[in-house]
Amino acid sequence: MIPFLDLKDLNAQYRDELLAACTKVIDSGWYIQGSEVQQFEQEFAAYCGTKYCIGVANGLDALILTIRAWKELGRLKEGDEIIVPANTYIASILAITENGLIPVLVEPDSKSYNISVKNIKSAITTNTRAILPVHLYGQMSDMPAIMEIAERYNLLVLEDSAQAHGASILGKKAGNWGHASGFSFYPGKNLGALGDAGAITTNDEQLASTIRAIANYGSHKKYENIYPGVNSRLDELQAAFLRIKLRSLDEAIAQRRKVADSYLANLRKTSLVLPLDEHISALDYEGHVWHLFVIQCENRDALQSFLASRDVHTLIHYPVPPHKQSAYKEWNDLSYPITELIHNHVLSLPISPTMKTEDVLLVSQIIEMYDSI
């Protein structure tokens, strides 16, 4: 069996270190907001190249809390519009509606799957206050162009970097392009905890301090509550685990890249639409961290069944776009043809830092076999 992602296998290489970290935290007697969280925040900020990192409970909270803090700081208010790609994972959009702001969905670029800069421009109205680009599948959105638009129209930029730890454009990492960035450390992400965890990176001291307070009951100082806050903290144990895995994140990315390179070479002659055509590589090849290896196929469901019948497990990211979900009934009749086309044709092949070379070859051979019949 070739699983989509074998988390047990992936974490096995860190087992001794994770157990030692666990013992250390247990014996410290300090389980919330202690030195592991503080050190992880410093190390992750340094990794991304930002001044600040604030650990929170999960990736969705990272996005929600950033928008919430901008509201508290008077930079956003309810009813403001935020431009967001229509084909993102629903979390990016939930973070906007949860705050009472209005998501303006725009179509992605059909090749990179990331938000189209041209479509951002045509979606700007007098109510637009922010852009929320999502670095989908591990590849960065066109941040140089997005930041230029943001500057011209005086908009805030919140990167959704949940799938792009370590990705970069022009040597500058995800999390360090926008005014703030949300990260998820959900176990399956490129930097994954052993439970839920998330973080925000930013270079804005005032924003960092406001998020920190809101996430901790609206309080900088115990029992002094300046905002009606929430409880969304990264805990010591997860921070200790993340510190261990952060040290080899670049190596894990390099291993993912090897798998991707192999798929790209093996599947070149098939009829599948592969990621990273010339258009994308021109932007930045090395910057892609291959959270997912997503192909497009005319008859996606048939290919998925064919692979499943040969014990290869694949997933679809994502089967239903946010505007077709029951959660957003008011949008169900809207039409986003590029987004819908993507959702109907994409298939994510197995990829992981620990995936064996022969398994990559086997998956490729099965796809070639499917493609030739």
Ligand X SMILES: *Cc1c(COP(=O)(O)O)cnc(C)c1O
- Contact residue for ligand X among 184, 201, 232, 339 (CB under 6 A): 184
Which of these ranges, 79-87, 108-116, 159-167, 294-302, lies near ligand X under the rule CB under 6 A? Answer: 159-167
Task: Name the one range near ligand X by CB under 6 A: 53-61, 220-228, 256-264, 336-344.
Answer: 53-61
Minimum separation from the CB atom of position 46 to ligand X (A): 22
The residue count for binding ligand X (CB under 6 A) is 15
List the interface residues with ligand X, window 85-104 (CB under 6 A): 88-89, 91-92
From residue 129 to residue 158, what is the string marking binding to ligand X with x (rule CB under 6 A)? -----x------------------------
Closer residue to ligand X, CB minimum distance, 226 or 316:
316
Residue 359: CB minimum distance to ligand X, A: 24
Please, which of residues 6-35 interact with ligand X by CB under 6 A? none
Among 25, 45, 48, 60, binds ligand X (CB under 6 A): 60
Smaller CB distance to ligand X: residue 57 or 367? 57
Encode the chain in three state secondary structure: CECCCCHHHHHHCCHHHHHHHHHHHHHHCCCECCHHHHHHHHHHHHHHCCCEEEEECCHHHHHHHHHHHHHHCCCCCCCCEEEEECCCCHHHHHHHHHCCCEEEEECECCCCCCECHHHHHHHCCCCEEEECCECHHHCCCCHHHHHHHHHHHCCEEEEECCCCCCCEECCEECCCCCCEEEEECCCCCCCCCCCCCEEEEECCHHHHHHHHHHHECCEEECCEECCCCCECCCEHHHHHHHHHHHHCHHHHHHHHHHHHHHHHHHCCCCCCECCCCHHHHHHHCCCCCCCCEEEECCCHHHHHHHHHHCCECCECCCCCCHHHCHHHHHHCCCCCHHHHHHHHHEEEECCCCCCCHHHHHHHHHHHHHHHHC
Report the interface residues with ligand X, using CB under 6 A.
58-60, 88-89, 91-92, 134, 160, 162-163, 184, 186, 196, 198
